[in-house]
Amino acid sequence: MKVVGRSLPVLLLALILFSGCVQITINTPPMPGTVTPGITPAPAVTCPEAAPAPAVADPPPGTVSGESGSGFIVPVGDLTRKGYRTLTFNYAPDGIPREYTIRVPVNMSVLYGARASQVTRPETSEDPVAIKQYVATFERDPSQDELYESVLDQLRSARYHNGEYLDDDQYLEMIVAFVQQIPYQENPGGKRKYPVEVIYDKAGDSDEKSLLLANLLARENYDVALLFFEDERIEEVGIRIHEDVPDSNIQVFSNSRKDYAYVEAASSGLNFIGNTPTALKTANNPWVSSVGNGTKGYGQINYNWNIVSDLNLMIRKNLATKQSLADTGKVNSWDRVGTCTWIKNSKLLQNSTCYCCDF
């Protein structure tokens, strides 16, 4: 028989298929606390052992992993595999406390890629090129777009409640409340967690949660920045404000063109938008680096000034301490209206200047 044309490749393919030794295996590198999915082999099929997939090792400290040194995550394993995280937080629009629960899908290949990558903060904030590259690592990484959108899809749905709709200031406060109430966890190592890791771990330190918060707000068109405090070696979030504030009870940070109010990402409690820790009020001016191209600012900064001024006066007059205020359960950064109402009704400042008492 004469074999001509394309008959020979077809014959070879048939022989391979009938031999039973075609095997496709996708191995997802195991992570601590996870179970690697297995594939049960078909019976009576014996194939030569394939070479093991190369292990994914952590890069040495001080390096940036990813494509062309960009710091972008390189996903590892099955791109379709999802893990889910449920997060609960409180927010009180108009002084009415509500509990929100969101369920966020996490792409496990992106998570595994993040675990194997490393980004470290630039040694100095006086190097604007390094700072911009560092910010871009988290802002423009295409692998993290899915995570940001998954979180925001849930928060956008939460923006509606019983036919109501949170305005832009309330929605910003709700996003801040969500990030603040992700548990704080100190990270003594040099490796900075990516936002996908913060969501999956349901924990992060101040810098890591700041990066998550800034990128969520930027994607919702808020004019947001990262504030790099050189001596303190921390980065915090700033939100654009347009109003003047009466005094330094609310600290304003500027890049000579725009004014930003401090936003604490680490925890809630007394951390109302604009309430800057004392240590940072006396620190050298931070480097202000914009995140995204948002245009919306925060319009309730002077309302918060009333709260912060009243609380600071209580503390100065020894009428209360930060701990005793937190212990009341009535002073919460996620409930500015309720807090102001409590200040007024407490009568602790009845013989003093009381700004919330005027409401």
Q: Please state the rounded mean pLDDT for residues 70-95.
A: 91
Better-predicted residue by pLDDT, 277 or 133:
277
Lowest mean pLDDT among 61-70, 87-96, 269-278, 285-294: 61-70
Q: Is residue 19 part of a domain?
A: no
Q: Is residue 231 part of a domain?
A: yes
Better-predicted residue by pLDDT, 221 or 60:
221
What per-residue confidence (pLDDT) applies to 133?
77
Read off the tokens for 189: 């190592």
Q: Is residue 16 part of a domain?
A: no
Q: Domain tally for the chain?
A: 1
Q: Is residue 291 part of a domain?
A: yes
Q: Do 181 and 108 form a contact (C-beta atoms < 8 A)?
A: no
How many angstroms separate the CA atoms of 268 and 275, rounded? 11
Q: Is residue 144 part of a domain?
A: yes
User: Over the stretch 250-298, which tens digit does the pLDDT of each residue have?
Assistant: 999 998 899 999 999 999 889 999 999 888 888 888 889 899 999 999 9
Q: Is residue 36 part of a domain?
A: no
Lowest mean pLDDT among 95-99, 132-136, 184-188, 300-304: 132-136
CATH number at residue 110: 3.10.620
Q: Is residue 329 part of a domain?
A: no
240-250 b/e (C-beta count within 10 Å ≥ 16 → b): bbeeebeeebb
3-class SS string, 249-280: CCCEEECCCCEEEEECCCCCCCCCCCCCCHHH
Q: Please state the rounded mean pLDDT for residues 24-51.
A: 34
Pairing of β 234-241 and β 259-263: antiparallel
Q: Do 53 and 126 form a contact (C-beta atoms < 8 A)?
A: no
The reported pTM is: 0.78
Lowest mean pLDDT among 30-34, 46-50, 98-102: 46-50
64, pLDDT greater than 60:
no
Q: Please state the rounded mean pLDDT for residues 71-98.
A: 93
Lowest mean pLDDT among 66-70, 119-123, 231-235, 319-323: 66-70
Better-predicted residue by pLDDT, 49 or 319:
319
129, pLDDT greater than 80:
no
Residue with tokens 């194939």: 47
User: Over the stretch 156-169, which tens digit does the pLDDT of each residue have?
Assistant: 999 987 788 999 99
Q: Where are the extended beta strands (E) located within 152-272?
A: 160-161, 164-165, 224-229, 234-241, 252-254, 259-263
Instruction: Name the CA dihedral angle for 253, 172, 244, 319, rounded to a multiple of 10 degrees.
Output: -90
| Amino acid residing at 86 | T
DSSP state at residue 211: H
Domain containing 117: what range?
67-300
How many angstroms separate the CA atoms of 98 and 273, rounded? 19
Confidence of residue 58 (pLDDT cuts 50, 70, 90): very low
Q: Is residue 61 part of a domain?
A: no
Q: Please state the rounded mean pLDDT for residues 230-254.
A: 90
What per-residue confidence (pLDDT) applies to 19?
40
What per-residue confidence (pLDDT) applies to 188?
76
